[in-house]
Structure 1
Amino acid sequence: MRHFLGYVCTACAGVFIGSLISRQPDLLATQSRLPQASGDPNGKPSFSASQLRVDGDFLKREGKEVVLELPPVLVCDPLEHVLVINLEGEGGLARREHIKREFEKAGLKGRFHFWPAVNFNTDEQLAKEMNRKKCPCDAKKGCGLSHRRLYEMMLYEKWPCATIFEDDVTLAANFSTRVAAMKDSIPPFDVILLGYCPGGYKPRRGPKDQSSVPTLKYGWPGSCVHAYTISLQGAKTLTEANTPVIVPPDGAMDGMHHWGNRTRIHIDRSGGVFTGSYWYVHPQLSWQGVEADNLEGGV
């Protein structure tokens, strides 16, 4: 009898393992369907068979309907898709040059694209979402629309994540190396803030610690979105939260302006309740310096 039971268990295990092996091609097929970044020898990503195109220094998206669906397997590399929101034309030139210098120092030359900021003086979609005949409109809501359009592009392209910067950011020493060092320890997340404004006040200089690998901490340390990594799930959540646009991008994240479960984020700061997956790095890896923040082209 004991031998018979051992035979049955062995047979069951064989069937189970065989079932797993038979399913493996489906998993591999699923992974193969995920978008893969390609690039040229200079490190610039290309976007074949997508709705993206490169126009000079800017990455642009052709207008197509966004479907809020997520692929089943996601692996995030924060430096695979790096974008900087910047006003096109002469109005954003000074900040564009600042970013090029700053990112070259950080080892990101040729590894990022500019993303067109919404012009709150002329944007027709912004006017429509604010129930106006035409702009000028609220500059901060224009900023919210700039970020949301980026999320919509992520959803169409099905990027696992992207790292987004505003064009007045200053990066800590060894930025790229330190971000890469924490890549394998990233938990499931909606947003990881790489810089923030404790109490709503902008830090004007970096932390003393400019060398250690940052620790990822859970929670919402303060507003500001000058540097953050957002997952595809986070992009979906924040697109839904800020359509039509009603708040600036950090307002859509921190829950101050949303009720009725419109977002999966914390709504009770005092009780320490966090219902969304919001993380931040310590020490900070970026800040908004006075010199860059005062350049022409900001909100």
Structure 2
Amino acid sequence: MSTDSLHRKSSTQTFLPPVYVITLTEDMDRRNHVEDLRKNAGIPMKIFPAITPRTRDAYPPIYDARYRQWHYGYDLTPGEVGCFLSHRALWELCAQSQDPAWCILEDDVELDPEFSAKLQLALAHVTDWDVLRLMAERYDRKGLPYKKLDGADTLMHYVRPAMGTAAYLIRPAAAKRLLAFSTRMTEPVDKVMDQYWLHGLRVLVLEPFVVQIRQDLPSAISCRGWDAMRNGKRPLWRQLQRDLRNGRDALAGLLFSLRYFLGMFSHY
């Protein structure tokens, strides 16, 4: 394990992963909340200042504006671009580490009192997953049991994407693969992570969830009022385009999952 990691040894000789919190450093409400997290979680955490492009002109060269306009009719928001770049920057650091996994949090989460114990449990089964979400933001979707862990905890596979990057564990090899998979920015970062049928990673969810989103901290990436297309004013052909795209992804995910759960592939 790397000498500069934030591992903390327990009485059972297990280790916690390095924990990084992506935060908007200029937002005092979020900074104060992160400081409370650091005090109350009982585990070391490192702050990672969020990357925040302010205008469309500040988008990076990897952003594919032509693709977005053709397939969606609107750009990613500055918040979505910043979120993508922030997570990708941490993937780059993680990929260079010798740690079993890293934990990446966003700054609007609330942690379960058993958060530390659940991280240790997840690491005890680190060979069973590549990316492990600690919550799913689509509460209306249900997963398939992948593996039963100790007690009531289960690793779940969501055929329909669980969505969200508020809290997850990621292994260095998975971070390296996601880096290679995301050299062109066309989608929000959680959709990139969810395209398991393309990058081939085991993206699972730990249930019951050990993280929740604070509702009193407004999302930094959901403000879409600057584009009328994002206020429900899509022409019919754009709605059909969206439905076809979603249907294609749903079918690809279902076929991939069926092959895996039927044992046709030896690796996810």
TM-score tier (shorter): 0.5 to 0.7
Secondary structure in 1 matching 2:127: coil
TM-score (norm 2): 0.63
Secondary structure in 2 matching 1:118: coil
Secondary structure in 2 matching 1:139: helix
Of 189, 206, 222, 1:281 maps to 206
User: Could you tell me how far apart the structure 2 residues matched to 1:101 and 1:200 are?
Assistant: 30
Q: 1:25 maps to what in 2?
A: none
User: Could you tell me how far apart the structure 2 residues matched to 1:178 and 1:103 are?
Assistant: 17
Contact 1:192 1:279 survives alignment (8 Å): yes
TM-score (norm 1): 0.57
Of 145, 159, 162, 2:85 maps to 145
Contact 1:195 1:286 survives alignment (8 Å): yes
The answer to whether residue 196 in structure 2 is matched with residue 263 in structure 1 is no
Larger Rg: 1
Q: 2:232 maps to what in 1?
A: none
Work out the number of aligned pairs and report it.
Answer: 198
Contact 2:30 2:108 survives alignment (8 Å): yes
Of 156, 162, 177, 1:217 maps to 156
Contact 2:91 2:179 survives alignment (8 Å): yes
Sequence identity percentage: 25
**Residue ranges of structure 2 left out of the alignment (5+ in a row):** 9-13, 66-74, 142-150, 223-268
User: Could you tell me how far apart the structure 2 residues matched to 1:189 and 1:290 are?
Assistant: 29
Alpha-carbon distance change, 104 to 118 in structure 1, aligned in 2, over 3 angstroms: same
Alpha-carbon distance change, 39 to 94 in structure 1, aligned in 2, over 3 angstroms: same
Contact 1:142 1:248 survives alignment (8 Å): no
Deviation at 1:94, TM superposition (A): 1.6
User: Could you tell me how far apart the structure 2 residues matched to 1:219 and 1:83 are?
Assistant: 25
Deviation at 1:39, TM superposition (A): 6.8
**Residue ranges of structure 1 left out of the alignment (5+ in a row):** 1-33, 44-75, 202-211, 265-275
Q: CA RMSD in A?
A: 3.2
CA offsets 1:221-257 (integer angstroms, 9 cap, x no match): 61111000001121012111211222222110112xx
Aligned ranges 1:32-43 → 2 under 5 Å = 35-37=2-4
Alpha-carbon distance change, 186 to 154 in structure 1, aligned in 2, over 3 angstroms: closer
Of 83, 92, 95, 2:30 maps to 95
